[in-house]
């Protein structure tokens, strides 16, 4: 009987997962969707692997940024619903979707927003469904100007998941969110950048280089300050001004006790660029 191949444990301690490449490159954690033959459609194993790696990175003082990329021509065409529903005779108990999503896709998207290291994503080709939502939940997304961003739900006949109805209106407004979610309008990378949906759009050949540069900048930055600022931005979307001012004071207290804060002061006094250590 043929044995099923299981991913071996990488030497850096981050767990391997089928369809996901994991590499620790100094302070930068590289995650690559690696299912090019399926246009990087997300399997449950890939989602679970992303969750585990991000949770571990959040507790790893050596990791100062995450770079999310993909192999092949496309970033991610969404969840692999074809594989999940391959056997039409398979009967699932009522409520199976409601039970499964909170443990997978609905855990991954909030985690990307909450992890206190910057997440940079590089996108070529298609980014659809949860693939698009990975992009929207990133702190910085560099996309090819000819890439295609699409919410496929109206064309498939089921409602959006993985945070699409929460992320899109906050980034591009309700009217444009309706165009994408209810009319299924596809937009290219250039339009996404103009709408403020992504950080920047560049020619396809420049995507990896631009994303690498951004991730390296984040990995060399004041990590405590960056993590707290990310938290402030995301929580501030639902806070009152008074509550946000209180959180800012709390974050200022924390960040001003970091080694990077002291380095920033020394660099200012010595008129040089700071050399942040991430502590």
Quickly list H helices, 220-272: 223-236, 241-255, 259-269
The 8 Å CB, 24+ separation contacts for 244-253 are none
Q: Tell which of 219, 236, 260 closes a domain.
A: 219
Q: Which helix (H) or strand (E) segment is 112 a member of?
A: helix 105-114
Same domain, 231 and 181: no
Same domain, 184 and 229: no
Inter-residue contact 64 to 115 (CB < 8 Å): no
Same domain, 162 and 97: yes
Q: Determine the pLDDT at residue 61.
A: 93
How many other C-beta atoms are found inside a 10 Å radius of the C-beta of residue 59?
A: 9
Give a yes or no: residue 210 inside a domain: yes
Total count of domains within the chain: 2
Calpha distance 171→194 (Å, rounded): 11
Q: Determine the pLDDT at residue 4.
A: 44
Q: Measure CA 267 to chain center.
A: 32
Same domain, 247 and 122: no
Give a yes or no: residue 233 inside a domain: yes
Same domain, 264 and 144: no
Give a yes or no: residue 6 inside a domain: no
Same domain, 30 and 48: yes
Q: Tell which of 219, 234, 259 closes a domain.
A: 219
Domain hosting 260: range is 223-269
Same domain, 67 and 163: yes
CB burial of residue 83 (10 Å; 0-12, 13-18, 19+): exposed
Give a yes or no: residue 276 inside a domain: no
Same domain, 96 and 128: yes
Q: Determine the pLDDT at residue 98.
A: 47
Q: Determine the pLDDT at residue 239.
A: 92
pLDDT per residue of the chain (279 residues) written in tens, 0 to 9? 444 445 555 656 888 899 999 999 999 999 999 999 999 999 999 999 999 999 999 999 999 999 999 999 999 999 986 665 555 555 555 545 544 555 678 899 999 999 999 999 999 999 999 999 999 999 999 999 999 999 999 998 888 999 999 999 999 999 999 999 999 999 999 999 999 999 999 999 999 999 999 999 999 999 999 999 999 999 998 899 999 999 999 999 999 999 999 999 999 999 999 999 989
Is this model's pTM higher than 0.75 or not? Answer: yes
């Amino acid at each position: 009987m043929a044995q099923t191949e299981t991913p071996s444990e990488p030497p850096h301690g981050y767990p391997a997962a089928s369809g996901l490449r994991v590499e620790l490159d100094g302070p930068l954690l590289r995650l690559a969707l690696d299912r090019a033959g399926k246009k990087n459609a997300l399997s449950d194993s890939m989602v679970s692997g992303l969750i585990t790696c991000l949770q571990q990175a959040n507790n790893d003082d050596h990791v100062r940024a995450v770079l999310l990329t993909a192999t092949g021509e496309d970033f991610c065409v969404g969840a692999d619903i074809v594989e999940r529903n391959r056997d039409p005779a398979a009967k699932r108990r009522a409520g199976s979707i409601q039970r499964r999503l909170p443990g997978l896709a609905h855990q991954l998207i909030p985690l990307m927003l909450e992890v206190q290291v910057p997440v940079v994503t590089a996108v070529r080709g298609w980014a659809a469904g949860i693939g698009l939502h990975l992009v929207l939940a990133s702190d910085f997304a560099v996309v090819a100007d000819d890439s295609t961003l699409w919410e496929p739900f109206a064309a498939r006949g089921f409602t959006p998941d993985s945070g699409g109805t929460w992320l899109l209106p906050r980034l591009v407004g309700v009217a444009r969110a309706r165009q994408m979610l209810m009319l299924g309008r596809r937009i290219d990378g250039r339009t996404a950048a103009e709408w403020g949906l992504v950080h920047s759009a560049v020619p396809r050949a420049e995507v990896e280089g631009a994303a690498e540069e951004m991730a390296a900048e984040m990995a060399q930055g004041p990590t405590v300050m960056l993590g707290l600022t990310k938290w402030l931005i995301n929580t501030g979307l639902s806070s009152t001004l008074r509550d946000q001012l209180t959180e800012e004071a709390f974050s200022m207290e924390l960040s001003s006790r970091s080694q990077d804060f002291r380095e920033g002061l020394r660099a200012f006094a010595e008129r040089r660029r700071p050399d942040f250590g991430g502590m």
